[in-house]
Structure 1
Amino acid sequence: MLESINLPISCNFSSFPHLKPSRKAQSRNLTLVQSRAPLPFLKPDRILLRNSNSQFLKHEKKGLFHVCRSSLNNPDPDKTEIQDEGRDWTSSVLLFALWGALLYYCFNLAPDQTPTQDLYFVKKLLNLKGDDGFRMNKILVGLWYIMGLWPVVYAMLLLPTGRSKTQAWPFVVFSFFGGVYALLPYFALWNPPSPPVSESELRQWPFNVLESKVTAGATLVAGLGLILYALVGNAGDWKEFYQYFRESKFIHVTSLDFCLLSAFAPFWVYNDMTARKWFDKGRWLLPVSVVPFLGPSLYLLLRPALSETTAPTDSSASSSDPSQ
């Protein structure tokens, strides 16, 4: 009956007690082998329990915590691995704390002196208001449209090489509406390394679009045009925008969103660069990626195709499939 059970056993004791094999144990042909110094093929902190069917229960000491794994029904007991102690959740906790603090700030502490004006601005930017003679601030217009391009940049950085057990695409889709406030939970849940992308996947949507130089070039040109449009604004536009930033929750939260997306982008550029094994040739783009939006967009245009670096071919993937 025990042979059909494969159970992980967690042990919190420092060592097994000294056992004397009883007659009952001898009748079941159970032997206890405890490693000692004269036995070079066993480590001093490892104990093996063996029965007549050559089934093992391996115990290995890991400080104050011990992890044991049953190897019943294991075709190769010598290759039984010790369970690891799990991932380090420190960075995840910090990112979740940052996310919660940002949400609290946006909903409770951000300036909110002009709610009616904010609603009017949103309608104007969505083209829900006709031409009523009001001139929109150029910096605000440029910021609004460039926030629609940031999710494209992050999709090109996250979906091919920033994937994890947690699906990235729902967070990327919601980032078109929520910006960094929708991406931060994924940053916290992300657990490298990312799974590889096969050649067949790269030829399918959305990877064929996200890996395209046309997409990267169009994103860079559009972003550059919007930034130039905003910078051409006169000094009055900057003073007016600063006043909006101090009074309007909509503009205040959107500006903070832009700054945070710019701050996180260099890390994901570095992650994508190392995943493509292009760090030696493309390291000069890391300081360039600090430039808001333009730096990451330039990297996306110049980076090598994933199929040329790490993507496994379909033939190699099929040959490595154990089911075949």
Structure 2
Amino acid sequence: MLANLHLISCNFSSQSFDLRPRSSSSRQTQSLHHPKLPRLLPKAGFNQPFLLKHNENFPIQRKGSIQICRSVLKSPDDPEKEQEGLKESKDVGARESRDWTSSILLFVFWGGILYYVFNLTPDQTPSRDMYFLLKLCNLKGDDGFRMNEFLVSLWYIMGLWPLAYSMLLLPTGRSSKSKIPVWPFLVLSCFGGAYALMPYFVLWNPPPPSVEESELKRWPLNVMDSKLTAVNGCLSLLSQQVLLAAGLGLFIRAGISIDDWGEFFQYFRESKFIHITSLDFSLLSLFAPFWVYNDMTARKWFDKGAWLLPLSLIPFLGPALYLVLRPSLSELAARSEPE
């Protein structure tokens, strides 16, 4: 019962009251004969209401006699409400104070890239470009023509980039404030590469939302992130290792084909298709270190994994190596649980 008591503070009048004890005879004499006290008893019978006439010399002031009393203690729910209010105010302040400079610059850069792709890239061999595209997609049979090994390696690596970015952007690359889903851009990146991902980079606003434990058990996070469960963990680790091994094999294949390098550079200067594909690979390699850093900080693994950040500058192989070595979110959650 004492725990529910509240302290009440009231602002009473500044005039003091005489609280000294007096004898009963003196109190009666003062109440009946004191000239400055108002008459409290009516002259007529008890049926009339009591009247209290204010006197100018009465010690209680007329104005300010009604005071506002407030509790100095808070109810048990107030701290939680206060924390929620502070969190909401911080979110509102963050939304209002968002700096759009980087997004605007990135949008201008994306627009410039698209203008270059559609208007300034070389287009001297359109028929040969279509032939190369059919050969690389295995839509044209063996006609005795030997494809450039460097071009073949580049084409297959471009097919692995969307998988690598899916592992980086799901879930730590999602945007919690702009509410823009990432999966449509990842699907489009299978066909458009960096040209389809850059609009999401423009709209992205950190930090990413928290991932619930039930979400880690659902597709695609159970395959791309989990390493603890038997089946999903093996699939996740296998996909990451296959990604690294395939990329390493393609780089080795391109590296040993030294005789094809000169031919590839000639294609680059003449072919629109090869020019755009090479630029796409360069853009994906350029943005990958940032998303590796974002994923690393979101997992709070920067202290242990900072040595991988310079390696992420290596095109494709650096981010693929990070994906193999990084801890999963479920593993980090298991470590943080108290024993």
2:312 aligned with 1:289, yes or no? yes
* TM-superposed deviation, 1:159: 1.3
2:216 aligned with 1:199, yes or no? no
Q: Which residue of 2 aligns with 1:184?
A: 198
Is 1:180–1:257's contact at 8 Å kept on the other side of the alignment?
Answer: yes
Residue type of the partner of 2:303? D
2:247 aligned with 1:247, yes or no? no
Q: Which runs of 5+ in 2 are unaligned?
A: 1-67, 71-80, 226-235
Residue type of the partner of 1:288? L
Residue type of the partner of 1:215? S
2:244 aligned with 1:220, yes or no? yes
* Selected match of 1:174 from 167, 183, 188: 188
Deviations 1:30-70 (A, max 9, x none): xxxxxxxxxxxxxxxxxxxxxx9x9xxxxxxxxxxxxxxxx
2:113 aligned with 1:105, yes or no? no
Distance 1:104 1:79 in 2: 46
Distance 1:311 1:249 in 2: 50
* TM-superposed deviation, 1:267: 0.5
Residue type of the partner of 1:179? G
Residue type of the partner of 1:250? F
* TM-superposed deviation, 1:234: 3.1
Deviations 1:196-225 (A, max 9, x none): 111211111000111121111010011111
Is 1:276–1:306's contact at 8 Å kept on the other side of the alignment?
Answer: yes
Distance 1:297 1:223 in 2: 8
Larger Rg: 2
Distance 1:215 1:87 in 2: 37
Distance 1:174 1:225 in 2: 26
* Selected match of 1:233 from 257, 264, 274: 257
Residue type of the partner of 1:227? F
Greater strand fraction, Structure 1 or Structure 2: 1
Is 1:161–1:271's contact at 8 Å kept on the other side of the alignment?
Answer: yes
Deviations 1:276-319 (A, max 9, x none): 11100000000000000000000000000111225899x9xxxx
Q: Which residue of 1 aligns with 2:48?
A: none
Distance 2:258 2:242 in 1: 27
Structure 1 segment 86-125 matched on structure 2, within 5 A: 86-125=97-136
Q: Which residue of 1 aligns with 2:223?
A: 209
Is 1:160–1:207's contact at 8 Å kept on the other side of the alignment?
Answer: yes
* CA RMSD in angstroms, aligned pairs only: 2.4
Q: Which residue of 1 aligns with 2:148?
A: 137
Is 1:196–1:312's contact at 8 Å kept on the other side of the alignment?
Answer: no
CA pair 79-153 structure 1, distance change in 2 beyond 3 A: closer
Distance 1:175 1:89 in 2: 24
* TM-superposed deviation, 1:109: 0.2
Is 1:198–1:311's contact at 8 Å kept on the other side of the alignment?
Answer: no
Q: How many residues align?
A: 242
Residue type of the partner of 2:245? V
SS in structure 2 at match of 1:161? coil
Q: Which residue of 1 aligns with 2:53?
A: none
Greater helix fraction, Structure 1 or Structure 2: 2
Question: Which deviates more, 205-214 or 113-122?
Answer: 205-214
Distance 2:199 2:144 in 1: 41
Structure 1 segment 258-277 matched on structure 2, within 5 A: 258-277=281-300
Distance 2:146 2:108 in 1: 40
Residue type of the partner of 1:301? V
Deviations 1:119-155 (A, max 9, x none): 0000000111111110000000000010000000000
Residue type of the partner of 1:269? V
CA pair 195-246 structure 1, distance change in 2 beyond 3 A: same
Q: Which runs of 5+ in 1 are unaligned?
A: 1-51, 55-74, 316-324
Question: Which deviates more, 302-311 or 197-206?
Answer: 302-311
